[in-house]
A = this chain, B = another copy of it.
Amino acid sequence: MAEKEKTKEYYMSLALKEALKARDMDEVPVGAVVVKDGKVIARAHNLREKNQQANAHAEMLAIQKASRKLGTWCLDECDLYVTLEPCMMCAGAIVLSRIRNLYYGTDDPKAGAIENIIQIRTIKRLNHHPQIESGILREPCSEILTAFFREKRKKPKRKREDFRKNDE
């Protein structure tokens, strides 16, 4: 019997698991997975603070891992699932790596580059446009971020500057 096809919600739940790992490390909780032919080939979560790298976003790390695994920068048969709407940098990386389908959980009104601060589908000169679907497991993808920042606000000011919501 053929294996039952996995749903988008299934893959997003794996991205959410990654976001939980980030949260447990006191990183802004965003997670991502890359899927090819139904198989998860890369998983990653935000590691900005641990790595002290501004570009260590979940999507960037997942794309890097996927390319390492496949031995090519061109991920045109791959889909990316990420819990939060990608920022400008990550949207650019998604275009450059030719990701086929982008699925994301919740919007980022402050930094999202898909529907918010810019709308990549309106930039006609980009040489690749992924298919895009948002709102996959929107509630839990949003709630994990809300809870994280609620908790941060309770903590002493000393730590707060490290977790500016705008950065994710």
Chain A 136-147: CB-based contact to B (< 8 A → 1; otherwise 0):
000000000000
A88 contacts chain B at the CB level, 8 A cutoff: yes
| Residue from B60, B67, B88, B93 in contact with A52 in the complex, judged by beta carbons closer than 8 Å | B67
Q: Are B64 and A55 in contact (CB under 8 A)?
A: yes
Q: Are B63 and A54 in contact (CB under 8 A)?
A: yes
A16 contacts chain B at the CB level, 8 A cutoff: no
The interface on chain A, measured as residues whose beta carbon lies within 8 A of the other chain's beta carbons, has a size of 43
Select from chain B the residue with minimum beta-carbon distance to A91. B88
A39 contacts chain B at the CB level, 8 A cutoff: no
Instruction: Please measure, in the bound complex, the distance between the C-alpha atom of A127 and the C-alpha atom of B166, giving whole angstroms.
Output: 7
Q: How far is the CB of A88 from chain B (nearest CB, A)?
A: 3
Instruction: Please measure, in the bound complex, the distance between the C-alpha atom of A125 and the C-alpha atom of B117, giving whole angstroms.
Output: 7
| Residue from B53, B60, B120 in contact with A55 in the complex, judged by beta carbons closer than 8 Å | B60
Q: How far is the CB of A167 from chain B (nearest CB, A)?
A: 7
User: Can you name 18 A-B residue pairings with CB atoms under 8 Å?
Assistant: A52-B67, A52-B68, A52-B72, A53-B68, A54-B67, A55-B96, A87-B96, A88-B92, A88-B113, A89-B92, A89-B95, A92-B92, A111-B125, A111-B126, A111-B127, A116-B125, A118-B123, A127-B164
Select from chain B the residue with minimum beta-carbon distance to A124. B117
